[in-house]
């Protein structure tokens, strides 16, 4: 486990407010949902993330994940809507119902990955695509709401099967870092949350740089306890190796 993430988890356990306290997802002593790795895997007993208040799902066919990941996403999206009720978030691909190879992605095969748009300013419905090319273009962003989203995702890292890391362009991280400073957030929390300002190749921070992630984030969730065939690296890919999100 990286030093910054240990700091973030320690802060959560000590009662330092991150952004909310999502409920623990249901679990089972022995389950079989995420099978194999995110880049070579499949999915069993999948749960669909359905549209809800404050967000919409781009494609129902690719909106399936493990029960644990979907439970965490529900908590995160509920918190975002409660804090920023006039914003609308776009949810991109999770996995196919049975997992396996998904067009335009190397990962997203075992129900533990999700693409989420950056939160736009209030009243704006997200448009465009997360696909290559368009994913390099900057989009209007509500920095306060987007920072809230990242803090909520980071808060799940202390829970079973919570988020492990997020991929986001370094320039967008700079904007969010400035927002955090303006809000007066604890510098230790910001340092644990964002790779910025330590360099886009720095192996630190819950959020890491990756080309092709200027208009959305890629979130990887951990294996849930007891998910006996779940496999996958804990660390994010190096920024020089560009995954298909």
pLDDT tens for each residue of 12-61: 333 333 333 333 344 445 678 999 999 999 999 999 999 999 999 999 99
pLDDT tens for each residue of 94-129: 999 999 999 888 899 999 999 999 999 999 988 766
Q: Please, what's the b/e burial string for 15-30 (b: 16 or more CB within 10 A of its CB; e: otherwise)?
A: eeebbbebeebeeeee
CA dist 27 and 44 (Å) reads: 15
Antiparallel, parallel or unpaired: β 34-37 and 89-91: unpaired
What fold, for 28-187+210-221? Muramoyl-pentapeptide Carboxypeptidase; domain 2 (3.30.1380)
Q: What's the pLDDT band for 166 if we cut at 50, 70, 90? A: very high
DSSP β-bridge partners for residue 227: 31
CA dist 217 and 191 (Å) reads: 18
Q: Where are the domains of the chain?
A: 28-187+210-221
Helix (H) or strand (E) holding 115: strand 113-117
């Amino acid at each position: 486990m990286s030093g910054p993430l240990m700091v973030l988890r320690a802060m959560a356990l000590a009662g330092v407010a991150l952004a909310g306290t999502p409920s623990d997802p249901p679990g089972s002593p022995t389950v079989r949902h995420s099978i194999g790795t995110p880049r070579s895997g499949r999915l069993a007993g999948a749960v669909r993330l359905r549209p809800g208040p404050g967000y919409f799902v781009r494609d129902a066919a690719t909106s399936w994940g493990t029960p644990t990941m979907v439970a965490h996403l529900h908590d995160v999206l509920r918190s975002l809507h409660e804090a920023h009720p006039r914003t609308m978030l776009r949810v991109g691909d999770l996995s196919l119902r049975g997992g396996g190879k998904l067009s335009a992605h190397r990962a997203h095969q075992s129900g533990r990955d999700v693409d989420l748009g950056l939160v736009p300013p209030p009243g704006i419905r997200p448009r465009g695509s997360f696909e290559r090319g368009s994913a390099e273009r900057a989009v209007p962003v509500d920095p306060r709401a987007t920072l809230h989203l990242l803090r909520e995702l980071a808060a799940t890292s202390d829970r079973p099967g919570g988020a492990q890391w997020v991929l986001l362009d370094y320039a967008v991280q700079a904007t969010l870092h400035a927002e955090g400073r303006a809000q007066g957030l604890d510098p230790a929390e910001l340092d644990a949350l964002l790779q910025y300002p330590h360099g886009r190749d720095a192996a630190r921070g819950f959020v890491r740089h990756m080309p092709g992630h200027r208009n959305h984030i890629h979130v990887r969730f951990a294996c849930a306890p007891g998910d006996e065939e779940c496999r996958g690296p804990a660390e994010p890919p190096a920024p020089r190796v560009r995954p298909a999100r």
